[in-house]
């Protein structure tokens, strides 16, 4: 008896009249191209919600040929691990914060210069404009492809288990967790704190076990990662605007056909724009929610922090590190910094 291969069966199905298909077992077709995407955030964060939608759209538009498998919440390791996996091709996609990809592409931290951006109008003008283009070009030099639209992490705020942070004075000696990022370390050292670099996967436990007393993150992250359970107060400092670069391994990206690249890029960029809007809407309600969960809030004035950073030579140092071109592009968007 001849063995009926799947190909032969599908071939018959394609030519046989439609009616004869009825009653046949459904044959699940495995995707031709399976691409892994890892990230560091809980499933409920808009970054995961919208990238899940993008993956569905990509699957539909390619008739199931391309499937993106999402591994959220540090399932594949911490930020540093995922960064090396996306470089080697072990995973195809990763969404590192600008702070984190800067360990590889230093200029990528330019958006995180302390107290640079006043609001989201300035942020999107810069990141969708010349500053973002400059960073994407730098990312492409290390054989990674950065999608056009950077996703929103948000304006970073400081939380602590100790006394509230009102001015730069309270920063002295503060044991604060920062991402694995030279710029964050430098900034909190300039504020006289004792910053500790830890991957995001380690933040909750290190606060819980008091390895550190404080951390800094946008409010939606504090909410989805339940950091309010292990922190007492939150200072609205807006000290850094942070985004997630959606990046792809260069070889894997260039290995896709041109039409497939367009389908994937369109879906991911459109999802990114929606994700920005999700965060914008969340920002309107998240503080009230966190207050109800027991986190105490206070406002801060940026002046004392900025003065401290200026006196410590922070702006001068990072202007030199980023170089005149990138610094100029940042100042085009936010005005003179130092």
Can you give the binding site for ligand X2X, defined by CB under 6 A?
40, 97, 99-100, 153, 179, 200, 217, 221, 242
What CA–CA distance (Å, rounded) separates 307 from 310? 5
Q: Which candidate, 204, 168, 210, places its Cα nearest to that of 189?
A: 168
Query: Would you tell me how many other CB atoms lie within 10 Å of the CB of residue 162?
Result: 13
What CA–CA distance (Å, rounded) separates 319 from 327? 6
Judged on CB neighbours under 10 Å (0-12, 13-18, 19+), 335 is: exposed
Q: How far is the CB of 79 from ligand X2X (least distance, A)?
A: 6
Neighbouring residues of 60: CB distance < 8 A, sequence distance ≥ 6: none
Pick 54 or 176: Cβ nearer ligand X2X: 176
Q: How far is the CB of 97 from ligand X2X (least distance, A)?
A: 3
Pick 68 or 221: Cβ nearer ligand X2X: 221
Q: Which candidate, 113, 122, 180, 130, places its Cα nearest to that of 316?
A: 113
What letter would DSSP give residue 201? G
Pick 100 or 168: Cβ nearer ligand X2X: 100
Pick 221 or 263: Cβ nearer ligand X2X: 221
If DSSP codes are grouped into helix, strand and coil, which group holds residue 45?
A: coil
The two three-digit tokens of residue 258, written as one number: 């041109």
If DSSP codes are grouped into helix, strand and coil, which group holds residue 150?
A: coil
Element (H or E) spanning 41, and its range?
none
Pick 155 or 200: Cβ nearer ligand X2X: 200
Pick 58 or 171: Cβ nearer ligand X2X: 171
Residue 127 Cα to chain centre, angstroms = 14
What CA–CA distance (Å, rounded) separates 193 from 236? 17
Pick 170 or 242: Cβ nearer ligand X2X: 242
Q: How far is the CB of 141 from ligand X2X (least distance, A)?
A: 22
Beta-bridged to residue 38, according to DSSP, are: 71, 94
Pick 169 or 280: Cβ nearer ligand X2X: 280
Q: How far is the CB of 138 from ligand X2X (least distance, A)?
A: 18
């Amino acid at each position: 008896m001849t063995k009926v291969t799947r190909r032969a069966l599908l071939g018959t199905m394609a030519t046989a009249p439609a009616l004869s298909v009825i009653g046949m077992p459904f044959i699940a077709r495995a995707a031709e191209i399976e691409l892994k995407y890892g990230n560091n955030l809980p499933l409920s964060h808009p970054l995961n919600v919208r990238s899940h939608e993008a993956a569905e759209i990509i699957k539909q538009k390619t008739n199931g040929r391309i499937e993106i498998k999402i591994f959220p919440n540090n399932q594949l390791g911490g930020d540093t691990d995922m960064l090396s996996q996306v470089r080697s091709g072990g995973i195809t996609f990763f969404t590192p914060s600008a702070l984190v990809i800067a360990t590889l592409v230093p200029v990528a931290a330019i958006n995180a210069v302390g107290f640079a951006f006043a609001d989201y109008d300035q942020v999107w003008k810069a990141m969708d404009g010349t500053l973002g283009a400059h960073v994407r070009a730098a990312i492409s030099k290390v054989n990674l492809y950065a999608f056009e639209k950077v996703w929103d992490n948000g304006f970073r705020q400081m939380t602590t288990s100790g006394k509230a942070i009102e001015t730069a004075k309270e920063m002295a000696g503060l044991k604060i967790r920062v991402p694995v990022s030279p710029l964050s370390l430098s900034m909190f050292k300039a504020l006289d704190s004792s910053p500790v670099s830890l991957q995001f996967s380690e933040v909750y436990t290190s606060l819980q076990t008091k390895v550190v007393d404080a951390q800094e993150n946008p409010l939606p992250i504090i909410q989805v990662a339940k950091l309010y359970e292990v922190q007492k107060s939150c200072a609205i400092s807006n000290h850094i605007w942070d985004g997630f670069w959606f990046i792809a391994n260069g070889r894997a990206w260039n290995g896709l056909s041109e039409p497939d690249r367009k389908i994937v890029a369109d879906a991911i960029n459109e999802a990114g724009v929606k994700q920005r809007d999700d965060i914008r809407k969340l920002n309107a309600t998240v503080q009230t929610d966190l207050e109800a969960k027991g986190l105490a809030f206070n406002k801060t004035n940026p002046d004392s922090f900025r003065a401290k950073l200026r006196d410590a030579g922070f702006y001068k140092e990072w202007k030199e590190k980023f170089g005149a071109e990138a610094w100029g592009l940042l100042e085009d968007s936010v005005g003179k910094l130092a």
